[in-house]
């Protein structure tokens, strides 16, 4: 049976990043073009036409494993729209595919800043509308923060949870993760009321 993995999340949660991670596995049909470019418009994603019209899923060929990435909402040829997950999943299952779903999470404050900066308004509520239905599909959750924090060890646990091939070299993962997209949203915090006390109980207070 062919297996189609859908990775999805709110706009700006890390669809391009996770697409690169999964595309690094040679036997997985995915967005391999992203491995050579930092960013590509979503209407060039291999399954983009099928998200617009699920009937076109039958025209996309792959051997055993494929991964498709879709943000919610997403842009298709200049038009921003919300994906119809149910229609897409039903069509995939109708073709005999085993469908797996992985939901991307990212810090909620970063998401709001990113969506407002790039798109002009926060859009996570569009994804939350679909979340109850997606949770009925037994999804696995992907954390962009945990990917940066734990790297390849985190990917090994995801491989087991998804029972889906994730085969990436450390050097390739390092290249994908060399720029942390969250860093632009953070600045050093000012001294907080408990800081001195924590230093004292930790044996670090030298004042």
Q: What does the chain come to in residues?
A: 207
Q: Is 66 strand, coil or helix? A: strand
pLDDT digit string, tens, across residues 80-129: 999 999 999 999 999 999 999 999 999 898 889 889 888 888 899 999 99
Integer Cα distance of 112 and 122 in angstroms: 5
Q: By C-alpha distance, which of 37, 17, 203 is closest to 110?
A: 17
Mode of pairing for the β-strands spanning 3-10 and 65-72: parallel
DSSP notation for 104-116 = EE--HHHHHHHHH
Q: Whole domain around residue 25: which residue ranges?
A: 3-179
Q: Is 10 exposed, middle or buried (0-12, 13-18, 19+ CB in 10 A)?
A: buried
Whether 202 maps to a domain, the answer reads: no
Assigned domain for 194 exists: no
151-201 tens-digit pLDDT: 999 999 999 999 999 999 999 999 999 988 878 877 777 887 877 766 777
Within-domain flag for 189 = no
Q: Does residue 199 fall inside a structural domain?
A: no
pTM for this prediction = 0.91
In a domain, 21, yes or no: yes
Q: Which residue, among 85, 102, 100, 99, has the nearest Cα to 140 in the 3D structure?
A: 102
Domains held by the chain: number: 1
């Amino acid at each position: 049976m062919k297996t189609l993995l859908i990775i999805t999340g709110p706009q700006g949660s890390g669809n391009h990043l996770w697409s690169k991670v999964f595309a690094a596995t040679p036997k997985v049909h995915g967005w391999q073009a992203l491995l050579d470019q930092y960013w590509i418009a979503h209407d060039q994603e291999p399954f983009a036409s099928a998200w617009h019209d699920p009937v076109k899923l039958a025209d996309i060929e792959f051997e055993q494993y494929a991964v498709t990435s879709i943000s919610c909402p997403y842009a298709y040829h200049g038009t921003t729209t919300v994906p119809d997950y149910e229609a897409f999943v039903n069509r995939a299952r109708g073709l005999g595919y085993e469908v797996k779903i992985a939901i991307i999470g990212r810090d909620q404050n970063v998401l709001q800043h990113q969506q407002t900066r790039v798109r002009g308004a926060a859009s996570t509520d569009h994804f939350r509308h679909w979340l109850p239905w997606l949770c009925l599909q037994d999804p696995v959750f992907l954390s962009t923060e945990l990917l940066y924090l734990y790297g390849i060890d985190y990917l090994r646990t995801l491989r087991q949870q998804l029972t889906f091939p994730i085969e990436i070299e450390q050097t390739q993962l390092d290249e994908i993760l060399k720029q942390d997209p969250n860093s632009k949203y953070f600045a050093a915090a000012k001294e907080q009321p408990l800081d001195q006390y924590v230093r004292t109980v930790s044996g670090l207070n030298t004042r």
